[in-house]
């Protein structure tokens, strides 16, 4: 047991050393499908993004292909909307118009005119409804080779895992949501994420009762994220999975900022992460030391 704790301590110190080197950008370990206008190449924003995501789910459209286009845009590209197809949604946008006014009566007027934002709507079609549109470039994939030890830890926990989400999180309904396995960029990214959420799972009131359900962005939330990410690092080491140290450090860095960049928070979170790991190893019958 002492050797294991020493090893976890070294991993923690390595992360602190990496943090002291400066800012590292964090990248999600899975591919994110965003609704885009295929004519402009730009992603939709705000309510349009949410609406198109919901429409895609409701109509059982290909979740990997989130390309949309208006009738006129398709025509301009030389593509055809398939006969009988109906627009799947409306998107909203603002167009600026100018109105001539009397500058003596309106101080905001410039050169005798005032600009007004005008809300407009456009109907859009899904890429699957368009003839002539280029095929969607396939998402790079990796060969999934199950890690026996990681699978044993996951299965022994008996945690409920739902793998069709656009995000990864542990729900207060006591289940883990994960993106589909094929959406991940690497084996390490997949297991690192799932083990992170499994660490959150250990904090449920019926288990280690760590108080895992806190307001996003709060210090309590940040502390729990540090625990889960360090536990993921330790579990990757236990299973022989090569964790991507830079991404782990970048993720931790984001939450340390919430805690006023206090490196000692890493040490405190490390001890709680060790408890989470021991809990999972005991369930899997792997804690023989």
How far, in Å, CA of 130 to CA of 83, rounded? Answer: 9
Query: pLDDT tens, 238-270?
Result: 999 876 566 777 788 877 877 766 767 888 889
This prediction has a pTM of: 0.71
Predicted pLDDT of residue 201: 97
Q: What is the pLDDT of residue 274?
A: 94
Mean predicted confidence (pLDDT) in 56-60: 74
Q: Which residue has the higher pLDDT, 34 or 234?
A: 234
Secondary structure (H, E, C), 204-251: CCCCCCCCCCCCCCCHHHHHHHHHHHHHHHHHHHHHCCCCCHHHHHHH
Confidence of residue 288 (pLDDT cuts 50, 70, 90): low
Average confidence (pLDDT) over 211-223: 86
Query: Is the CB of residue 161 less than 8 Å from the CB of residue 178?
Result: yes
Q: Residue 27 pLDDT more than 70? A: yes
| pLDDT(94) > 90 | no
pLDDT at site 102: 55
Quick: pLDDT tens for 120-142: 889 999 999 999 999 887 777 77
Which of the two residues, 216 and 190, has the higher pLDDT score? Answer: 190
pLDDT reading at 100 higher than 80? no
Residue ranges with strand state E in the chain: 36-37, 67-69, 80-81, 89-100, 113-126, 130-131, 161-162, 169-171, 175-177
Please tell me which of 98-102, 222-226, 280-284 the model is most confident about, judged by mean pLDDT: 280-284
Structure confidence at residue 24 (pLDDT): 67
What percent of the chain shows pLDDT beyond 70? Answer: 89
77 against 216, higher pLDDT: 77
Question: Averaged over 148-164, what is the pLDDT?
Answer: 94
Query: Mean of the pLDDT values across residues 2-31?
Result: 76
Select the more confidently predicted residue: 63 or 84.
84
Residue 2 has pLDDT above 90, yes or no: no
Averaged pLDDT score across all residues of the chain: 84
């Amino acid at each position: 047991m002492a050797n294991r704790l020493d090893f976890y301590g070294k991993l923690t110190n390595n992360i602190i050393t990496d943090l002291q080197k400066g800012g590292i950008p964090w990248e999600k370990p899975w591919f994110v499908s965003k609704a885009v206008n295929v004519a402009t190449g730009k992603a939709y924003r705000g309510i349009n993004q949410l609406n198109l995501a919901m429409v895609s789910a409701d109509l059982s459209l290909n979740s990997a292909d989130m390309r949309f286009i208006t009738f006129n845009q398709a025509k301009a590209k030389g593509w055809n909307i398939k006969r009988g197809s109906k627009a799947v949604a409306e998107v909203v946008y603002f167009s600026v118009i100018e109105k001539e006014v009397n500058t003596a009566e309106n101080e905001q007027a410039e050169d005798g005119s005032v600009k007004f934002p005008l809300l407009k709507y456009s109907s859009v079609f899904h890429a699957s409804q368009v003839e002539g549109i280029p095929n969607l470039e396939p998402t790079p994939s990796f060969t999934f080779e199950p890690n026996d030890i990681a699978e044993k830890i996951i299965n022994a926990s008996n945690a409920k895992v739902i793998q069709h989400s656009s995000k990864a999180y542990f729900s207060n309904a006591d289940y883990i949501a994960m993106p589909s396995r094929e959406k991940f960029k690497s084996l390490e990214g997949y297991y690192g994420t799932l083990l992170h959420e499994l660490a959150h799972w250990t904090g449920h009131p019926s288990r280690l009762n760590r108080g895992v359900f806190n307001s996003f962005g709060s210090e309590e939330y940040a502390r729990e994220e540090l625990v889960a990410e360090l536990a993921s690092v330790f579990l990757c080491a236990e299973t022989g999975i090569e964790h991507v140290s830079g991404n782990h450090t970048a993720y931790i860095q984001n939450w340390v900022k919430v805690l006023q960049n206090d490196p000692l928070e890493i040490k405190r979170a490390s001890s709680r992460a060790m408890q989470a790991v021991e809990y999972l190893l005991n369930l899997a019958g792997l804690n023989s030391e």
